[in-house]
Amino acid sequence: MGSFDWEPRSGTLQVDDAGLALFALRPEDYDGRLGSLLPRVEDRERLHAAWEEHIKADRTSFSIHFLITWHEGEPRWVHMGGRILRDERVPPGRVVGVLRDTAAELTGAGRGLTSALQRSAEALSTALTVNDVISVLTGRGGLERFGADGLALGLMNGEFLDLVELSGNDMELFHGLVHRRADSTTPLAEAVMANEARFYSSAAELLRRFPRMQSYVEQLGGVSGVAYLPLTAQARTIGGLALIFRQHVRFSAEDRDLCLGMAAILSQSLQRAMLFDSERDVATSLQESMLPRSIPKFDGTDIAVRYRAASSGRAVGGDWYDVIALPGGRVGVVVGDVQGHDTHAAAIMGQLRIALRAFAGEGHAPSRVLERASRFLTELDTDRFATCTYAEVYPATGEVGAARAGHLNPLVRNGDGTVSEPDLEGGLPLGIATEFGREYFPETRAALAPGESLILCTDGLVEEAGSDLTVGVADLAEAVRTGPPGAEALADHIAECLSDRWGTHDDVALLILRRLPARR
């Protein structure tokens, strides 16, 4: 079993030594190109067809079996599974995953730790974040995959080894060891510091080396074997894994090799997840820093906003919201979405939000604000476009003037709780409108009665792969209808009702402006 990192556009395919061994190749004989491995694949057409099916179906993970020619012409089945890291282009920019020999499972062999290794590696191949990796280890079926009765995962934090997850009956008794300096006084820390796996086939064997573990062993109600595995990636120890067995176990040479293989795959998954989390934190912080830090308050209105970055994938998007104080006691509200899911989209969003705020603050009508915003986006010399809806509200009278550029229609929650969808004629998305010489964004006039709310959102809240957009809009309307009247409470209710869509594959921006009922 081995791992790979593939860049389909360039054809670069990094495969570790174990993966190359599946193709009977030595590292020095491999040039890092996909084309060097394909001649060893017997059913290339079927492999290509299976891959194309995954791409067309817009899937983010894949699982494919194919036949290769091994030593002396021997045919052998190999399984390839992993994660497709998508962006706006086809083919995708990067694919990561594992390769494994499936001869054992296809011939009915491979049990115990072998089966655990295969099943765990397959599950880890689709784990993106550290939390995803932890879920594979300790989530539903995690212990069963390892064949263990207890599991402890520790990660290095400077000079300390932090137990980040415990799984199994009575494992909570180890909470006293959650944050301890990494030294040789505890078995897991000792294995991590020495960077060597430790196997103990009985409690007596363990206690001879670590007598201070006596109380823990007694409280666990019997321990017949423990494996302490250091987790090392690129010559750096990042943590350790402890597997506890209550049933009698003897760690044969094969069992030890399998445990070490499991630790290697887990180490790679954790290192990749740590890098992913770090990059995502930077990108998300960039995007959130460009959104308003606070929302101003206005007499006669109740305003709530929600923003959630996508939780799937490294990329961030260009969704934004804003609330603007306008001359004459008016309030400007806007929700928009810059095309793309990367830091460039977030940077464009920040510039466009500031420009639109400036145009609105000058007192221009909604149609003129969008015209100027479209021109500004074109002058940025970018190939990105943006959609948005901008509305001006006069709280004293309830008058509303709104225009939209390729964006979703807003919704209105009426005073009796019913929901309506005002028909805003709209124009082309910002940027595209200027390129085609059609800077036309007709303004729609309406009124909000006391107690009514205007709801603006981006498509991430209502759009879902494989589902019609109208279904998502209907679900949103139902959440608005059944929610409480207050803006903050309604925003929370919408997020709860649409949690399956909220912040999964796309960013989400939501803005609710409620005109408060008149005081008696």
- In the chain, CATH 3.30.450.20 sits at 1-108
pLDDT in tens, 44-103: 776 777 777 777 767 777 777 777 877 666 667 788 888 888 776 777 888 898 988 876
Sequence-ordered alpha helix ranges (H) in 362-484:
366-379, 432-435, 469-482
User: Based on the number of CB atoms within 10 Å of its own CB, is 215 exposed (0-12), middle (13-18) or buried (19 or more)?
Assistant: exposed
Could you tell me the CATH superfamily of domain 1-108?
Answer: PAS domain (3.30.450.20)
Distance (Å, whole) CA 54 – CA 49: 9
Report yes or no: 265 and 226 within 8 Å, Cβ to Cβ. Answer: no
pLDDT band at 107 (very low <50, low <70, confident <90, very high): very low
pLDDT in tens, 411-427: 999 989 999 999 888 89
Other C-beta atoms lying within 10 Å of the C-beta of residue 443: 19
Residue 128: what pLDDT? 79
pLDDT in tens, 466-502: 678 888 899 999 999 999 999 999 999 998 888 765 5
For residue 241, which amino acid is it? L
pLDDT in tens, 19-36: 888 888 888 888 988 888
Q: What is the mean pLDDT of the chain?
A: 83
Residue 106: what pLDDT? 45
User: Which bin fits 503, alpha (ψ -120 to 50), beta or left (φ > 0)?
Assistant: left
* Both structure tokens of 96: 């990561």
pLDDT band at 316 (very low <50, low <70, confident <90, very high): low
Give the burial string for 308-336 (b: 16+ CB within 10 Å, else e): bbbeebbbbbbbbbbbbebeeebbbbbbb
The pLDDT of 147-152, averaged and rounded, is 80
* CATH 3.60.40.10 corresponds to the domain 290-515: yes
The yes-or-no verdict on residue 306 having pLDDT over 80 is yes
The yes-or-no verdict on residue 354 having pLDDT over 90 is yes
The yes-or-no verdict on residue 433 having pLDDT over 90 is yes
- In the chain, CATH 3.30.450.40 sits at 110-283
pLDDT band at 298 (very low <50, low <70, confident <90, very high): very high
Residue 314: what pLDDT? 52
Please provide the DSSP assignment of 244-272 as one string: EE-S-----HHHHHHHHHHHHHHHHHHHH
The pLDDT of 169-179, averaged and rounded, is 73
Residue 365: what pLDDT? 94
Other C-beta atoms lying within 10 Å of the C-beta of residue 440: 14
Distance (Å, whole) CA 310 – CA 5: 23
Residue partners of 58: CB distance under 8 A and separation at least 6 = 86, 465
Residue partners of 448: CB distance under 8 A and separation at least 6 = 393, 398, 400, 412, 454, 515
Report yes or no: 480 and 490 within 8 Å, Cβ to Cβ. Answer: yes
Report yes or no: 22 and 99 within 8 Å, Cβ to Cβ. Answer: yes
Residue 333: what pLDDT? 97
Residue 504: what pLDDT? 53
- In the chain, CATH 3.60.40.10 sits at 290-515
The CATH T-level fold of domain 110-283 is Beta-Lactamase (3.30.450)
Residue 21: what pLDDT? 86
Distance (Å, whole) CA 42 – CA 70: 10
Bridge partners of 75, per DSSP, are 69
Check residue 92 and report its DSSP letter.
Answer: -
Report yes or no: 333 and 454 within 8 Å, Cβ to Cβ. Answer: yes
Other C-beta atoms lying within 10 Å of the C-beta of residue 52: 11
Other C-beta atoms lying within 10 Å of the C-beta of residue 442: 12
For residues 386 and 171, the model is more confident at 386
Distance (Å, whole) CA 172 – CA 165: 10
pLDDT band at 340 (very low <50, low <70, confident <90, very high): confident
The yes-or-no verdict on residue 110 having pLDDT over 60 is no
The pLDDT of 336-355, averaged and rounded, is 86
The yes-or-no verdict on residue 108 having pLDDT over 60 is no
The yes-or-no verdict on residue 170 having pLDDT over 80 is no
pLDDT band at 515 (very low <50, low <70, confident <90, very high): very high
Which H helix or E strand runs over 394?
strand 386-394
Q: What is the C-alpha radius of gyration for the chain, rounded to an integer number of angstroms?
A: 29
